[in-house]
Amino acid sequence: MLIKHFASDSKGNLYTIDEDIIIDCGVSFSFIDATIDFQSFGYLLLTHEHADHLNKVSLRKVFTRSNLIIVCGEWLNDILLSHGFDESRIIVVEFGKVYQLGEYKISPIKAYHDVENCGYRIMKDGHKHLHITDTATLDGIDAFDYDTATIECNHDEQKALELIAQAKENGEFTHLKGAMNSHLSVQQTIQFCERNRIKQLYPAHIGSSTKKEVIEALRRWV
């Protein structure tokens, strides 16, 4: 299973599995068109409504210029139908159920963000992959002995707390407090990978404020 990250931060998200599955569509259409042959893919898995994961203009262009099937939860299906997307090319999935998409089996996982959100288990030929970003916790989720995982490492806990304290002292605003309440830290992700003996991690959604510290934590762990 070939996992690629073409965009993975608060500015936009676009991931692929082999040349069959796209995950999220939070970038411009020009970026998508220049980066991947989207017409050759079969499925597009959506997670949640935030613009860095779901750019409706881009999605409309990708949808109308391909035969892609959109896979999403009910919370996104309502949005898509209200924007005139063809429901015959939308598969609505439920948490915990397993769905066959060509050679792949997928199962959505509940994520805990400030809007309804999900991650996905993706399986093919014995390879097990976990994809989850934009969640405050991984409690209740297991991925024991998974081959690969795309999990966010949004911030470094200690550095984030230092920056929050500094901003408070200076009477300044920082987004980090909100990020700590709605995104995984690198420490949470490392602990999850160790506990589940995940063979390979693809770090995702690394925030800019503590990027240096996140990369250093990952380097020390590996």
Q: What is the pLDDT of residues 161-220, one digit of tens each?
A: 898 888 888 888 788 887 888 899 999 999 999 999 999 999 999 999 999 999 999 999
Please give the average per-residue pLDDT across 110-117, as a whole number: 95
In this prediction, residue 181 carries a pLDDT of 84
Domains of the chain: 1-121 (3.60.15.10), 136-222 (no CATH)
Q: Which residue has the higher pLDDT, 176 or 98?
A: 98
Q: Which two tokens stand for residue 81?
A: 């139908």
Q: What is the mean pLDDT of the chain?
A: 95
- How far, in Å, CA of 169 to CA of 126, rounded? 52
- Enumerate residues 6+ apart whose C-beta is below 8 A from 209: 155, 159, 160, 163, 174, 175, 176
In this prediction, residue 174 carries a pLDDT of 80
Please give the average per-residue pLDDT across 61-90, as a whole number: 95
pTM of the shown model: 0.95
What is the three-class DSSP state of 63?
A: helix
What order do you get walking across the sheet with 21-23 strand by strand?
A: 3-9, 12-17, 21-23, 43-45, 69-72, 90-92
8-state DSSP, 87:
G
Q: For the chain, where are the E strands, in sequence order? A: 3-9, 12-17, 21-23, 43-45, 69-72, 90-92, 99-101, 104-112, 116-124, 127-132, 148-152, 200-204
pLDDT at residue 40 greater than cutoff 90: yes
- How far, in Å, CA of 161 to CA of 144, rounded? 31
